């Protein structure tokens, strides 16, 4: 049975890394001693070791150890033997490229379908949907496929931003970009605002956190989804 927390972001305003999620994560990872961390998205080009150290510092607050997947001789075996897994944010193109490069995408999907507790934030959440095509990231590297884990039948747009009234910004809004996606694709998209996450237990998907999410479907008007709403209908 799937056991996932899929968060828009790792850090909200005026808080430390993962701080807003730690009470939830303490329960989510209950019974797990060590969390396998996948640092492949490398935000800002940070090294795997430095990224893992940052994550270790956060999880130490709830008495969890962290080991980076890069510290294992065989990353496939690391995933298959993991008690729990966290994939952090950064660049989704780089993350997907590296998962395919090491032949890990399907292996990761398999263990998560079988119930290994998982946390994704930002890019690590982007990969949980059908494809990575609704990421906000720059295409800094070319992955072999846009297809991702497919743990639920829709895509995410993490860090979703609403248009700012009276803004002089001339670029496209997030909503405009998602509408462009729906000119060619039928997969629904959930715009997940910062501070919100999806809690997935088996086939039950629930929106959690402070904020509503925004649901986009091809040939439909966008609608707001209230917190604690079940998204299993998607």
Q: Which residues contact 100 (CB under 8 A, 6 or more apart)?
A: 143, 144, 145
Q: Is 159 a catalytic residue?
A: yes
* Residue tagged active-site, from 56, 102, 159, 182: 159
Please, are residues 155 and 131 in contact by the beta-carbon 8 Å criterion?
A: yes
Among candidate residues 10, 122, 125, 196, the one labeled active-site is: 122
Among 70, 97, 137, 196, the active-site one is 137
| Sheet arrangement for strand 189-192 | 155-158, 189-192, 213-216, 223-225
C-alpha–C-alpha distance, residues 213 and 198, integer Å: 10
Q: Which helix (H) or strand (E) holds 24?
A: helix 22-28
Sheet with 118-121: strands ordered across: 65-68, 34-38, 85-87, 118-121, 3-7, 196-201, 204-209
Report how far residue 202's alpha carbon sits from residue 12's, in angstroms, rounded to the nearest whole number: 27
Contact assessment for residue 4 and residue 198, using Cβ atoms and an 8 Å cutoff: yes
* Chain mean position to CA 145: 17
Query: Is 232 one of the catalytic residues?
Result: no
What CA–CA distance (Å, rounded) separates 156 from 165?
A: 24
Neighbours of 8 (CB within 10 A): 27
Please say if 49 is a catalytic residue: no
Query: Which residues are the active-site residues?
Result: 122, 137, 159
């Amino acid at each position: 049975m799937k056991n996932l927390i899929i968060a828009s972001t790792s850090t909200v305003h005026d808080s430390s890394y993962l701080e807003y999620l730690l009470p939830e994560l303490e329960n989510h990872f209950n019974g797990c001693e060590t969390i396998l961390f996948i640092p492949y998205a490398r935000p800002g080009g940070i090294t795997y070791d430095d990224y893992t150290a940052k994550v270790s510092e956060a999880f130490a607050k709830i008495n969890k150890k962290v080991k980076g997947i890069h510290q294992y001789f065989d990353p496939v075996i690391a995933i298959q033997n993991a008690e729990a897994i966290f994939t952090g944010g950064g660049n989704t193109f780089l993350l997907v490229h590296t998962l395919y490069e090491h032949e890990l995408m399907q292996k990761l999907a398999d263990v998560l379908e079988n119930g290994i507790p998982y946390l994704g934030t930002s890019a690590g959440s982007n990969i949980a949907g059908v494809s990575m095509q609704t990421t906000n990231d720059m295409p800094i590297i070319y992955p072999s496929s846009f297809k991702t884990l497919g743990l639920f039948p829709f895509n995410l747009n993490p860090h979703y931003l609403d248009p700012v009234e009276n803004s002089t910004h001339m670029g496209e809004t997030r909503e405009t970009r998602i509408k462009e996606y729906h000119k060619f694709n039928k997969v629904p998209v959930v715009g997940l605002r910062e501070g919100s996450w999806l809690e997935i237990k088996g086939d039950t998907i629930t929106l959690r956190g402070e904020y509503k999410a925004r649901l986009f479907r091809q040939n439909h008007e966008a609608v707001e989804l209230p917190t604690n709403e079940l998204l299993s209908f998607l």
